[in-house]
Amino acid sequence: MIAYAITKTVSIDAPQEQVFAFLADAANWPRWAIVNVKSVKPSDGPWWDMETPAGMAKLRIRPNADFGTLDHDFNSPDASWTVPARLVANGSGCEFMITFFQPPSFSREFFEEQVALVDKELAQLKTLIESA
């Protein structure tokens, strides 16, 4: 069965390499993922301990600069999933794309409400990068 998915995209007027370096560093996530990430700190290996509005979780980013991928894994006591993300060049700037798949435990309405909150985070990301 194919899961319901929503892809969000934001255009950022900054070089792809600069945006990639920022997003690949989990220490930057509380600065832009302002709805879902309250704080992060290094944990075991590639994992980061992440404080979310729902409690503690784990974050692992799997960056690949050659392909522009920033896929990341999220694990919490009640859910876990992988979020595919990609950064592609667009003239002097770039496009950041992130796809969310509806977890089986979420209703469609709740999933759509949660993914809609990402718009605020992507706007914050754009502002942070473009004003740097």
Nearest to 12 by CA among 86, 73, 63: 86
Domain count, the chain: 1
| Percent residues over pLDDT 90 in the chain | 89
Q: Residue 67: which CATH number?
A: 3.30.530.20
What is the extent of the structural domain holding 11?
A: 5-130
Q: What is the DSSP letter of 15?
A: -
**How many whole angstroms separate alpha carbon 105 and alpha carbon 100?**
14
As given in the structure block, the two tokens for residue 124 are 């914050």
Q: Mean pLDDT across the stretch 23-28?
A: 98
Which pLDDT value is given to residue 77?
Answer: 83
Which pLDDT value is given to residue 80?
Answer: 86
**How many whole angstroms separate alpha carbon 129 and alpha carbon 107?**
34
- Give the tens place of pLDDT for each residue, 69-100: 999 999 988 788 899 999 999 999 999 999 99
Say what the pTM is: 0.94
